[in-house]
Chains A and B, each alone.
Chain A
Amino acid sequence: MLRMQSVSKSYSHRGRTVNAMDNVTLEIPAGDFVAVVGPSGSGKSTLLLVLGGMLSPSAGEVFVGGQSVYGIDPKERASLRQKKIGFVFQTFNLVPYLSALENVQVPLLIGRVDEAEQKTRAAALLERVGLGDRLDHKPSELSVGQQQRVALARMLANGPAVILADEPTGNLDPETSQEILSFLEEANREGRTIVMVTHDMRAAGKARRTLRLVDGKIVPNGESQTNG
C-alpha cells in the first residue's frame, strides 16, 4: 500500500545541512498497522509528511497504492490526499470557528459531496465516535478527548485507505488515549493501513509492528512484531 524507495530529505538550517531522512526504504502492505518510534528529531514526523504527500523528498520515490506521490502535479497530489489519506494530529487541528458537525463536513466539502449528504455522513460519523449529542458544539466547548474524537470522525469522513497519525494520544489522559487507540484498531480491522508516530510505547504496542527511526534512518533489526 505504501512504499518508500531510497528516500532522503535534507534541510538547510543556518547554513548547515540537516538530514531528516537518510536513504529510507520501506514497504507497508495494505491493512498493516505500523508504529514509528524514535527519539525527538529522529525524522519520524518528516517520514509521516513525506508519506502523506505533504513534503517532497530530496531524493527517492514514494508510492501510495502503486501511484507515485511526487510524480504527479500538486493538484493531483491534493486529490490523492483527499481520496486516500487521512491525517490525525497531536493537537487535533480542528477549525475553531466551526461546530463539530461542520468540522467533519470539511473533507466532504473538499470532496464536493452535496450539502445534505455531508450532514448525514458527518452526523453518522460523530455518532460512531460517541458524539451524537455534541454536533453543534464548537471545539472550545468540547473536552480534549472529545476534540480528538471529532478529529477521528473528520479523518474517516472520506473513507481513507491510509491513516497517518502523529502522536494521536500525545495530549490525552490514559483513559482517553485508550479510547482513541481502540478507534484506530477498529479502523485497522476495517482494512485501513495505519502509520502512527508515537513516543508512547503502550500506544505503539497496539500496532502490528514497530519501526525504530534514529537520525533519519530505520534502525536495522529495530523492527519488532508487537501483536496481530
Chain B
Amino acid sequence: MRLRTLVWRELFERKNQLATSFVAILLGISVIVSIKNITFYSEKAVARELDALGANIMILPKSASLQDYYSSDMQDEEFPEEYVARLTTSDLQGLDNLSPKLSVPVELRGKRFTLTGILPKNEFQAKAAWQGAGIFGRPQGCGVVVKMPGVADAPAKETLVRLRVIDDLSGTEALVGADMAAALNIKEGDSVGLLGQSFTVSAVLPSTGTVDDARAFAHLHTVQKLAGKGSVINAIEVVGCCNEISKGLVQKINRLLPEAKVVTITQIVDTQIKTNGMMSKLSLLFLGIIVLVGGASIANYMYANVFERRREIGTLMALGAGSSMVLKMFLLKALLLGLVGGVGGFLLGTVLAVSLGPRIAGVPVLPMPVLVLWALGVAVAISLAASYFPARRAARLDPSSALQEI
C-alpha cells in the first residue's frame, strides 16, 4: 500500500462531504475556463475585423492636420525613413504590419492623382537589422488573421490593398487604384508615365470607396528618387494589435518617436478596450469568487475532516507516523481534489464555451487544450492553499489527546 492509496480510499469514504467542495471548485473553474475560452475567440474575431479594416494606427509628422483618416498621409511635411527602423528594432509588442509611405501629387493626362511610394514586404525581411528584433521576427499573434471555421479568407487583391503591404514590387512596377484606372482606362500590363518615369501596371486594385481609389502605388525608393526628397516619408501606417493598443501601444510609439504624431481609429479601439476590459474584469471577478467560495469550502471541509479523523491521526502517530507524513496525507488529498476539480472544470467549461459561445459572443468557439494547464494550476493552487492550515493542524495534533480513550 502507498500513501496515495490511503488518501484515495479516504476520499471515497466521505463522498457526500467531499461533493460540496468538489462541486464548488468544479463550477468555479468551469465558469472561468468558459469565459476565457469565449473571450479568446471573441478577441480573435474582433482582431480579425480590425485587421480587415486595415491600418489602425497612423504615424504622421508632428504638425500634420488630421481631416480624414484615409487621406491623412497626404501631408506636405516629411520625416526620416529611419523612424521605420526605430520601430522595427524596438521591443514594442503588437506591431503586426508597418507600411511607410511617401505620397506626392502627380499629373497624368491632365488629371491630378496621388502617387504613393510603399515598401514591399520582402525588403523589410531583407534588412538584417530589422530581423530578429523586427516585426517579422516576432511571433505573430493578435491582429493576424486566424483561420476561423466557416469564415473564408479575403481574396488576394483585397488583402493587398487592405493591409497596404505587398510581397514584392520592383522599381518599375505600379499598382493603380480603381477610380484612377477607370478615369484613364488603364489595364493591367499597360505602361504609365509618372514623374517622368515609365511604370508597368502590375495590378488594378479593386474599389475600396476611399481616397486610395484615386492613387497609384509604386516602390517607395523609386518615388523618393523621382520626387527628389531623399530618404523621407510622410506617413507610417501600422496594423496594431488591438489588445496592445488597449495596453497603451499608441503612447509607447509616441515615446519612441517623440517628433511624430501618432493617431488611431479611436472609436473602434475604444469599443474593443471596453469589451476586453469587461471580459477580463468578469474573469477576475469569477476568479475572486472561486478563490473565496471554493477556497472557503475546501478549508471548511478539510478542518471538519481533520476533526473527524483525530483518532485515526492519533493511531497513525502511535504506529510511528511523523508530522510530515500526516501533513503529506492531507496535502496529497488536496492535490487530488485540485487535479480532479481542475480537469473536470476544464471539461465542463469547454463544453459550455463551445455550446454557448456562439450564442453569447456570436463567434464560433473551439476547445483550447492549453486551458487545461491553467485550470489545473488554479484548482490545485486554491485547493493546496485552502488545505494548508487544516493539514498543519492535523500534523501538529497532540497524539495523546487524539486517542481520547487512553
Contact = CB atoms under 8 A, between A and B. Distances in A.
A95 B325 contact: no
A105 B1 CA distance: 7
Given A48-B406, A49-B406, A97-B9, A107 B315 contact: no
A37 B385 CA distance: 47
Contacts of A166: 405-406
Contact of A110 (B5, B311, B316, B406): B316
Interface in A55-113: 55, 74-75, 78-79, 81-83, 87, 89-91, 93, 95-98, 102, 105-111
Contact of A97 (B13, B318, B403): B13
A158 interface: yes
B405 A90 contact: yes
Nearest to B12: A97
Given A95-B315, A97-B10, A82 B320 contact: yes
A79 B320 contact: yes
B1 A106 contact: yes
Interface in B319-345: 319-325
Given A54-B400, A166-B405, A158 B320 contact: yes
B312 interface: yes
Given A54-B400, A97-B13, A107 B406 contact: no
A158 to B, nearest CB: 7
Given A89-B405, A89-B406, A54 B399 contact: yes
B98 interface: no
A115 interface: yes
Contacts of A188: none
A98 B329 CA distance: 15
A45 interface: yes
Interface string B384-405: 0000000000000001100101
A184 B311 CA distance: 24
B325 A110 contact: yes
A82 to B, nearest CB: 2
Interface size class of B (residues with CB under 8 A): 20 to 34
A198 interface: no
B6 interface: yes
B317 interface: yes
Given A55-B400, A89-B315, A109 B2 contact: yes
Contacts of A95: 6, 312, 315
B3 interface: yes
A147 interface: no
Contacts of B312: 93, 95
A9 to B, nearest CB: 10
A75 B399 contact: no
Interface string A102-139: 10011111110001001000000000000000000000
B405 A91 contact: yes
A87 B400 CA distance: 12
A154 interface: yes
A52 interface: yes
Contacts of B314: 93
Given A49-B406, A55-B400, A91-B405, A107 B319 contact: yes
A97 B9 CA distance: 6
B405 A78 contact: no
- Count chain A CB atoms within 10 A of each CB in B12, B316, B320 and give the residue with the most: B320
Contacts of A87: 315, 318-319
- Count chain B CB atoms within 10 A of each CB in A49, A78, A107, A110 and give the residue with the most: A78
Interface string B158-200: 0000000000000000000000000000000000000000000
Interface of B: 1-3, 5-6, 9-10, 12-13, 311-312, 314-325, 399-400, 403, 405-406
10 contacts: A49-B406, A54-B317, A54-B400, A55-B399, A79-B320, A89-B315, A89-B406, A98-B9, A110-B325, A154-B319
